Structure 1
């Protein structure tokens, strides 16, 4: 399997495991599953989308000299229950032995990730594999300073489940991939009408608290204020592909604004198949009327329709099996007349442009921020 990638936030991929199983709505239109089925039986996917370990691929990064950001398991989930802890430890050993690279590990199974990476025996297993691969390699830091850990969250329900587990996992950098973003997401704590934010999450800025006991030169014990773990990076993206679900533009803006307020790097990956379609394409002054010929009017209308909206995404939702889905309506007006008709609050005009045409700009701007390497926010006892 080729290691190159077009994913905007990484340089290359590394897939020591392929295959997965679906755990939440974000998995419904999984691109990895589509690719695996297409090439099922090939060397890359010998078992289709069944979880498969590729032992020969684990050592590949040891041969990569040029520093790179490496997305680990773009075609699977490293912490899937069918991947043995022994194999995961070998993957971490290779990452430990290649500090020139920055590894981006993304999972929808943060419970197992937290359990393994907080376990003394797992760290010892990683050390054993390091010694096997590179005898006499010496000690190593934990958590690994070149490994970023992230979780995928597609809506508030799964954010509430996965983000706390991520923050409880030893890591130098923690990040979110909100792709595909299928519903509004509040990273500060949901707003209750009339009450503000009664339950803050501190996901973006870290929960304040007292640090460990310290002793000064006179033997007096004191504590300093500190902040707990926080998110260091947030990626947002809409869904692509023939069955893509649309992302409301306001969902992306809210996350961007909250990241900017907290000083957290924000990366807008893509709109996906659906993107904003501003319908203010003035054909004529409504107070004056059209002053040109009928042919010119028809041409102006065709041009505005080519650039206008065909659907609106609303804030209305329905709930089924604990999951919310949001309404998408086809517009009943031609785009060139919408500037007079207007849209009710909460609706956004969108159109199925296709991923390439929809682009990556959010309100006319690219957002390509990355986190800087940071020290662990808490020491993890192992």
Structure 2
């Protein structure tokens, strides 16, 4: 076998070929990095003409190589696996994609690996296929190459070795814009991808398909890599047989994805399934989404939890249409009757050496990084000051007139209660112990949720918030019942028992809720920071607290009222700033 060419898929032969490709990949990429300023990685600079010259008339440093006899035979057809140097002769978009796996928008995964793409609709779950919409939209662009054939299934040879060059750990979702098990993808191509998975010890790979029979055929003669999870998508009870088909594969790391969940299911056999993924349908426009019932989700969870070996359960989203109520997927969130199911199977925790909480934090951080990168990209595109590197360096410098104009469009600042609780800001209410701060603030929350004016302050005449979240660090449920039992409480008023939480846990919870309800107007009442804080409220603690709260308010446009006790003082005199702990920073 010639160096760098995948000529055979026999046992260790392909592994040595992969190693050769990785070594050659690193060598060539280092060469590219050294020349990147000169070439700028442009296709016209890299591709030689028929005389071997580039556009400047110079001899091209990188020549287009012919595939030679690098191929896998399949009857009368043959498929040529490219060498790394061949791949580097392609367009800039392809070259950059070789270097790192892109982040995914899928909550339970970290990266995407689009080694295959495209599909044809097979069952009702495919009706609103998001991948097809993306493909069709991109195929209309004149500058696209990836979806030039629309959503026709295909193998992306240029991305075959990407995971091996990307040394970051994480969960990789395989073929997010297609079905890895589609018949138009050959077993040779699938097997090449599996060998890459086998060679990558830093990641866990997740493959989902609606065509498990092709995976059964693929793994008849080759083992399933220990870091590879095989899964099927099941949208309704009529397709539970896909789980039985997948069970024919000799693997104990099977996954089932009930997505989109379109009906209730009984007698589910979870034998050898280690992960259950659940999500309701989300569409654009959201009114097209088919309904998911909470009882369907709850039934699956109960069956999974009662299995002889209970699988991990991950509810990604409830979708747009929950029990007939249509909202954004962010508004519906992912909590099932107030409970979060975001569990990862033991195989993932073992390989990646992370807990459920650490994996969730890692995956969510990737989404934040992606969103921030997208925001920076948008800012660069809309900035007109300077050109080239100057424009990039000064992308944050924009005309004040533009900012003022945008601000004017948003109208006046809204007062949520009286003239001192302002929408999108933090309000601190301080007073002596037992002065009635909790009672007054609790009633303010009820007024903001219901539109009443119980206290007589200048107040809303209609509900001005969608949700009020009362975070209690002091009172027991019995005390709450005694204190507020005779008051009519709006359904908009929510309660969190934070009596056992520290300040960091509370701030984290506020940010989580604010993110999930990012389309809603939310008022948080924290009663109180004095009790929640470990130790005294020093100036340093107060500064960090206000910084965090203001950041959350600004990022998610939520409002926070927080209560604070005064220090021991002479109560015959009015409260002064010096009576407040950390007052200068507050």
| Class of the TM-score when normalised by the shorter of the 2 chains | 0.5 to 0.7
- The answer to whether the 8 A contact 1:147-1:172 is kept is no
- The answer to whether the 8 A contact 2:191-2:218 is kept is no
Partner residue, 2:328: 354
CA distance in 1, matches of 2:110, 2:146: 20
**How big is the shift at 1:67?**
1.0
CA distance in 1, matches of 2:135, 2:145: 11
Partner residue, 1:237: 279
**TM-score, normalised to structure 1's length?**
0.61
SS of equivalent residue, structure 2 residue 306: helix
CA distance in 2, matches of 1:62, 1:108: 27
Q: Do structure 1's residue 182 and structure 2's residue 262 form an aligned pair?
A: yes
From 226, 233, 254, the equivalent of 2:299 is 254
**How big is the shift at 1:5?**
1.3
Partner residue, 1:21: 120
- Superposed, 1:286-305 pairs within 5 Å as none
Partner residue, 1:89: 191
**How big is the shift at 1:47?**
1.6
- The answer to whether the 8 A contact 1:172-1:373 is kept is no
**In structure 2, do the counterparts of structure 1 residues 256 and 155 end up closer, same or farther at CA, with 3 Å as the change threshold?**
same
CA distance in 1, matches of 2:345, 2:146: 32
**How big is the shift at 1:245?**
0.5
SS of equivalent residue, structure 2 residue 265: coil
> What's the C-alpha RMSD, in Å, of the aligned pairs?
1.5
- Of Structure 1 and Structure 2, the greater strand share is in 1
CA distance in 1, matches of 2:236, 2:242: 11
**How big is the shift at 1:143?**
2.2
CA distance in 1, matches of 2:187, 2:155: 12
CA distance in 2, matches of 1:274, 1:244: 6
Q: Do structure 1's residue 39 and structure 2's residue 151 form an aligned pair?
A: no
Deviations 1:58-81 (A, max 9, x none): 110011111110000010111110
- Of Structure 1 and Structure 2, the greater helix share is in 2
**TM-score, normalised to structure 2's length?**
0.40
Structure 1: give runs of 5+ residues left out of the alignment.
Answer: 124-141, 189-202, 207-229, 276-348, 375-382
CA distance in 2, matches of 1:77, 1:167: 19
Partner residue, 2:165: 63
From 80, 89, 99, the equivalent of 2:182 is 80
CA distance in 2, matches of 1:16, 1:154: 25
**How big is the shift at 1:101?**
0.8
- The answer to whether the 8 A contact 1:14-1:73 is kept is yes
- Superposed, 1:317-356 pairs within 5 Å as 349-356=323-330
Deviations 1:216-266 (A, max 9, x none): xxxxxxxxxxxxxx2111111000012210101110000011111122211
Partner residue, 1:301: none
CA distance in 1, matches of 2:149, 2:199: 30
- The answer to whether the 8 A contact 1:70-1:101 is kept is yes
Partner residue, 2:229: 148
- The answer to whether the 8 A contact 1:144-1:172 is kept is no
CA distance in 2, matches of 1:28, 1:350: 19
Higher RCO structure (Cα 8 Å, ≥6 apart): 1
Partner residue, 2:313: 266
- Superposed, 1:104-183 pairs within 5 Å as 104-118=206-220, 120=221, 123=222, 142-159=223-240, 161-183=241-263
SS of equivalent residue, structure 2 residue 347: coil
**How big is the shift at 1:43?**
2.9
- The answer to whether the 8 A contact 1:238-1:273 is kept is yes
From 357, 370, 377, the equivalent of 2:344 is 370
**How big is the shift at 1:187?**
4.0
CA distance in 1, matches of 2:206, 2:217: 19
**How big is the shift at 1:46?**
2.4
**How big is the shift at 1:357?**
0.8
CA distance in 2, matches of 1:248, 1:371: 26
CA distance in 2, matches of 1:264, 1:187: 15
CA distance in 1, matches of 2:123, 2:224: 28
CA distance in 2, matches of 1:31, 1:6: 12
Partner residue, 2:111: 12
**How big is the shift at 1:269?**
0.8
Structure 2: give runs of 5+ residues left out of the alignment.
Answer: 1-96, 349-586
SS of equivalent residue, structure 1 residue 373: helix
- The answer to whether the 8 A contact 1:274-1:353 is kept is yes
**4+ residue segments displaced more than 3 Å:** none
SS of equivalent residue, structure 1 residue 145: coil
CA distance in 1, matches of 2:340, 2:183: 37
**In structure 2, do the counterparts of structure 1 residues 146 and 249 end up closer, same or farther at CA, with 3 Å as the change threshold?**
same
**In structure 2, do the counterparts of structure 1 residues 148 and 38 end up closer, same or farther at CA, with 3 Å as the change threshold?**
same
